[in-house]
């Protein structure tokens, strides 16, 4: 009798573990690039494009069966949140409505956001909390003297969105963003969930950062041992990085190290698309020199003739001191020594969208080499690695499909980069004076008092 029970129990447990294993075996880890192109910013008809952000977010929400974990620096999904009446807020309002409906269908929604934040007029989180969402405002001001700048979504502990966009209607229609959707990938989703948990568990009064973090936050998926998944003809290697260092439990690769690895591994080219580039601190006066990324770039360009291209954003709030640092890189170009460092500035035209605050800019943050795709949430300046929470995805794919119908993630990201680099929105630094929609209009509009984090 007892033996029979034990046997039944054993079979039951074996089934349970088989189910678990199966969910891992089913991991196909399908990677799709995602982007948003601001309204009234046409590209040539034949140019490559990624999945539109609105479609990616709606698909994810449509897929949801059990749970959503979201991290965003701030939330503004309605025009009202910003006191703006503009049809371009409609997609954001639909996302908010969809989230409300999911909560009413008993989907568990967990939202981590930071204090201090931007957009303190927003009622989105109150609305969602009212319907039953679990919301925590994590005090990064107190924890790291920074902000929670991370942006990602985890659906059913199985699908992921990660990238530059905050949960903001402008991200869908008024700001240029880049991210990645990873579907059917419980292994990576559970790993990213551990980073979610580092924020969530500190969302209590008087929290302090554990040092070391308890072992259940540790990971074995990192730069030394990335996750490796084979699905159909594609093999993917991938891992997530985090910053600042105090938010890297045992085994988690520090975001800065991930970026340096990507640069140092390149043999042919490094293409960087970044909102802000400062080899200094950016939020203290006077700034402090901070060269790790700058050194790595100079080093691969000079010592190994790796071809560098930096595509950096300019908008009306750009700190123009950035251009001096960029020039100091581009002047190294020397065909006789086979050194190529090219810099272009990307400007999103404002057009008639002058009624929308803090919009019309290229906000994406990614790097691509002939080997690797890196998609992050941090700008390149010291505080984004020392105080501000962020994450990155490092991914490499190889394919045995001889028809090359499905380009690898790094090939797709390279195409996006080249489309933007060759577009009319990218200009040389010499052509900056007189540009509309960038700091240079009407002289230097920027003032340090208006320093903001985006
Ligand atoms: C568009 O792409 C197609 C297929 O790659 C090519 O055949 C065609 O010539 C291109 N058209 C233009 C205008 O570049
Ligand atoms: C999501 O679901 C809604 C309603 O079920 C549907 O109208 C919409 O087309 C779906 N969107 C996507 C992107 O799948
Ligand atoms: C927003 O603008 C539209 C058209 O410009 C107008 O019909 C509507 O009344 C405005 N809504 C509010 C709340 O001001
Ligand atoms: C949600 O859960 C409540 C309480 O358990 C239940 O009454 C309701 O029917 C559920 N709704 C849906 C759509 O499953
Ligand atoms: C909202 O932000 C503004 C500008 O940053 C600030 O002056 C104001 O005090 C904030 N309001 C609240 C309620 O936090
Ligand atoms: C995820 O896997 C399921 C089951 O294998 C499949 O039906 C679905 O199409 C996959 N979805 C994506 C987006 O890859
Ligand atoms: C937080 O810390 C303050 C000051 O040390 C203390 O007065 C307060 O009781 C603490 N609150 C909680 C919930 O522990
Ligand atoms: C680790 O365990 C503690 C205590 O049970 C729990 O509060 C925490 O959320 C866990 N963290 C993770 C990432 O599982
Ligand atoms: C320049 O460097 C690139 C990248 O290392 C290399 O492929 C190429 O052969 C070099 N060209 C010359 C002329 O040395
Ligand atoms: C704004 O500009 C776009 C194209 O530049 C045009 O299609 C649109 O009608 C304009 N909107 C308004 C309100 O003027």
Residue 146 near residue 244, CB atoms below 8 Å: yes
**Residue 434: per-residue pLDDT:** 83
The pLDDT tens digits for 286-325 are 999 999 999 999 999 999 999 999 999 999 889 999 999 9
Q: What does the DSSP 8-state code read for residue 337?
A: G
Ligand nearest to the CA of 204: 7
Residue among 96, 170, 114 nearest 348 (CA): 170
Give the chain's mean pLDDT: 91
Residue nearest to atom 10 of ligand 9 (CA): 338
Residue among 273, 427, 238 nearest 363 (CA): 273
Distance, in Å, from the CA atom of 425 to the CA atom of 177, rounded to the nearest integer, reads: 15
Atom of ligand 8 nearest to the CA of 214: 1
Atom of ligand 8 nearest to the CA of 194: 13
Question: Is 80 exceeded by the pLDDT of residue 145?
Answer: yes
- Residue 365 CA, ligand 1 centroid: distance in Å: 29
Residue 177 lies in a domain: yes
**Residue 122: per-residue pLDDT:** 87
Residue 23 lies in a domain: no
**Torsions phi, psi for 146 (to 5 deg):** -140, -150
CB atoms within 10 A of CB 34: 24
Atom of ligand 4 nearest to the CA of 105: 13
Q: Which CATH number does the domain housing residue 403 bear? A: 3.30.870.10
Residue 17 lies in a domain: no
Q: Which residues line ligand 4 (CB under 6 A)?
A: 105-106
**Residue 125: per-residue pLDDT:** 96
Distances in Å between the Cα of 347 and the Cα atoms of 176, 314, 315, 344, 359 are 10, 5, 6, 10, 12
State the total domains in the chain. 1
Name the residue range of residue 244's domain.
29-450
Residue 72 lies in a domain: yes
Question: What average pLDDT does this structure show over 144-170?
Answer: 97
**Residue 46: per-residue pLDDT:** 74
Residue 216 lies in a domain: yes
Distance, in Å, from the CA atom of 201 to the CA atom of 403, rounded to the nearest integer, reads: 47
Residue nearest to atom 5 of ligand 4 (CA): 106
* Pocket residue to mutate for ligand 2, from 32, 61, 62, 172, most atoms within 8 A of Cβ: 62
Any catalytic annotation for residue 134?
no
**Residue 453: per-residue pLDDT:** 57
Any catalytic annotation for residue 83?
no
Distances in Å between the Cα of 420 and the Cα atoms of 49, 154, 407 are 10, 29, 18
């Amino acid at each position: 009798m007892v033996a029979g029970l034990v046997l039944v129990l054993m079979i039951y447990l074996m089934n349970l573990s088989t189910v678990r294993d199966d969910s891992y075996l089913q991991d196909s880890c399908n990677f799709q690039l995602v982007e948003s192109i601001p309204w009234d910013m046409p590209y040539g008809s034949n140019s490559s494009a990624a999945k539109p952000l609105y479609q990616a977010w709606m698909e994810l929400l449509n897929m949801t069966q059990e749970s959503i974990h979201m991290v965003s620096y701030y939330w503004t999904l309605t025009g009202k949140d910003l006191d703006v009446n503009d049809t371009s807020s409609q997609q954001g309002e639909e996302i908010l409505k969809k989230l409300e409906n999911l909560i009413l269908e008993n989907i568990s929604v967990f939202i981590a956001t930071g204090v201090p934040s931007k957009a303190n007029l927003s009622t989105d989180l109150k609305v969602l909390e009212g319907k039953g969402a679990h919301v925590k405002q994590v005090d990064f001001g107190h924890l790291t003297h920074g902000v929670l700048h991370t942006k990602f979504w985890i659906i059913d502990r199985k699908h992921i969105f990660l990238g530059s966009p905050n949960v903001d209607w402008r991200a869908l229609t008024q700001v240029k963003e880049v991210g990645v959707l990873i579907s059917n990938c419980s292994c990576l989703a559970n790993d990213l969930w551990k980073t979610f948990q580092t924020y969530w568990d500190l969302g209590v009064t008087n929290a302090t950062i554990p040092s070391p973090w308890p072992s259940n936050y540790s990971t074995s998926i990192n730069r030394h041992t990335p996750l490796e998944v084979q699905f159909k003809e594609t093999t993917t290697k991938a891992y997530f990085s985090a910053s600042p260092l105090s938010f890297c439990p045992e085994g988690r690769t520090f975001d800065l190290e991930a970026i340096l690895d990507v640069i140092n591994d390149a043999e042919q080219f490094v293409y960087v698309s970044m909102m802000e580039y400062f080899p200094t601190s950016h939020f203290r006066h006077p700034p402090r020199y901070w060269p790790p990324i700058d050194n790595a770039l100079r080093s691969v360009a000079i010592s190994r003739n790796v071809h560098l291209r930096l595509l950096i954003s300019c908008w009306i709030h750009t700190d123009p001191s950035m251009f001096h640092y960029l020039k100091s890189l581009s002047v190294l170009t020397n065909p006789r020594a086979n050194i190529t460092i090219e810099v272009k500035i990307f400007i999103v035209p404002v057009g008639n969208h002058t009624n929308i605050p803090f919009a019309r800019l290229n906000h994406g943050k990614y790097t691509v080499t002939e080997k690797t795709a890196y998609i992050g949430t941090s700008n390149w300046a010291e505080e984004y690695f020392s105080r501000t929470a962020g994450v990155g995805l490092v991914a490499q794919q190889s394919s045995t499909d001889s028809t090359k119908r499905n380009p690898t993630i790094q090939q797709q990201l390279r195409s996006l980069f080249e489309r933007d680099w060759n577009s009319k929105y990218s200009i040389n630094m010499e052509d900056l004076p007189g540009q509309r929609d960038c700091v240079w209009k009407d002289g230097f509009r920027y003032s340090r008092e208006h320093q903001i984090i985006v």
